[in-house]
Amino acid sequence: MKYALAAAAAVALAACGGQSDDAPSGGTAPAGAAIQTAEAPPASPEDRGRRLFNECAICHTAKQGDPHRVGPNLFGIVGQEAGKQDGFAYSQALADSGLVWTEENLDAYIENPQGFIRGNRMAYAGQRDAERRADLIAYLKTLK
Ligand code: HEC
């Protein structure tokens, strides 16, 4: 049995052109792995939003009870009154805005923070891509 396997291996090596000495071992495994990655299911809006949130996470935490950073914690933000969280020093502009964070208001704010609430302090240039804003808001809605 041992000899039969050795013979089979020798035939296989010969089929490769006899360059077995230089060939890296296990050379065929990565090709199989690449095929599996390519077949991953498409991401949901929430998943895409979670990835897009990386650029918000420089300033904002998203988990319940996490501390405010440069910006306030955003857990439960959808449906909340704007500028009202304890322990965060909001700008006068945001604190006095009288806004509720409906999806519509969030969309306008994320698109153009300064244009939507003049004088607020969120130093974010804005996300001009409507689909990406929708993905971000889908993710924000999961924070509850
Ligand atoms: C450079 C830091 C920074 C980045 C990046 C940033 N924010 Fe902010 N954000 C702030 C600050 C600061 C405030 C408070 C502004 C004020 O008081 O005027 C704020 C406020 C907010 C509020 C209002 C919170 C409340 O309690 O009323 C929301 C919603 C928000 N940000 C969402 C986002 C989202 C979504 C992103 C990413 C697309 C983002 N922010 C990116 C700094 C940032």
The number of beta carbons lying within 10 Å of the beta carbon of residue 96 is 13
Question: Are 24 and 53 found together in one domain?
Answer: no
For residue range 30-60, list pLDDT tens digits in order: 555 555 666 777 899 999 999 999 999 999 9
For residue 70, the domain's CATH number is 1.10.760.10
For residue 23, pLDDT beyond 50: no
Q: Is the CB of 113 under 6 A from ligand 1?
A: no
Question: Are 54 and 122 found together in one domain?
Answer: yes
Q: Residue 78 has what DSSP assignment? A: T
Which element (helix H / strand E) includes 4?
Answer: helix 2-15
Atom 6, ligand 1: residue with shortest CA distance: 56
For residue 8, pLDDT beyond 70: no
Question: Are 132 and 63 found together in one domain?
Answer: yes
Q: What is the dihedral of CA 121, 127, 130, 135, to 10 degrees?
A: -90
Q: Is the CB of 50 under 6 A from ligand 1?
A: no
For residue 6, pLDDT beyond 90: no
Nearest atom, ligand 1, residue 82 CA:
27
Question: Are 68 and 12 found together in one domain?
Answer: no
Question: Are 71 and 115 found together in one domain?
Answer: yes
For residue range 85-130, list pLDDT tens digits in order: 999 999 999 999 999 999 999 999 999 999 999 999 999 999 999 9
pLDDT for the residue 42: 81
Q: Is the CB of 116 under 6 A from ligand 1?
A: no
DSSP per-residue codes, 9-48: HHHHHHHTTS-TTTSPTTTTHHHHHHHHHHTPPPPPHHHH
Q: At what angle do helices 103-111 and 130-141 cross, to 10 degrees?
A: 130
Q: Is the CB of 49 under 6 A from ligand 1?
A: no
Question: Are 14 and 34 found together in one domain?
Answer: yes
Question: Are 96 and 27 found together in one domain?
Answer: no
Question: Are 51 and 76 found together in one domain?
Answer: yes
Query: Domain limits at 83?
Result: 46-141
Question: Are 87 and 115 found together in one domain?
Answer: yes
Question: Are 14 and 61 found together in one domain?
Answer: no
Q: Is the CB of 83 under 6 A from ligand 1?
A: yes
**pTM for this entry:** 0.79
Number of structural domains (the chain) is 2
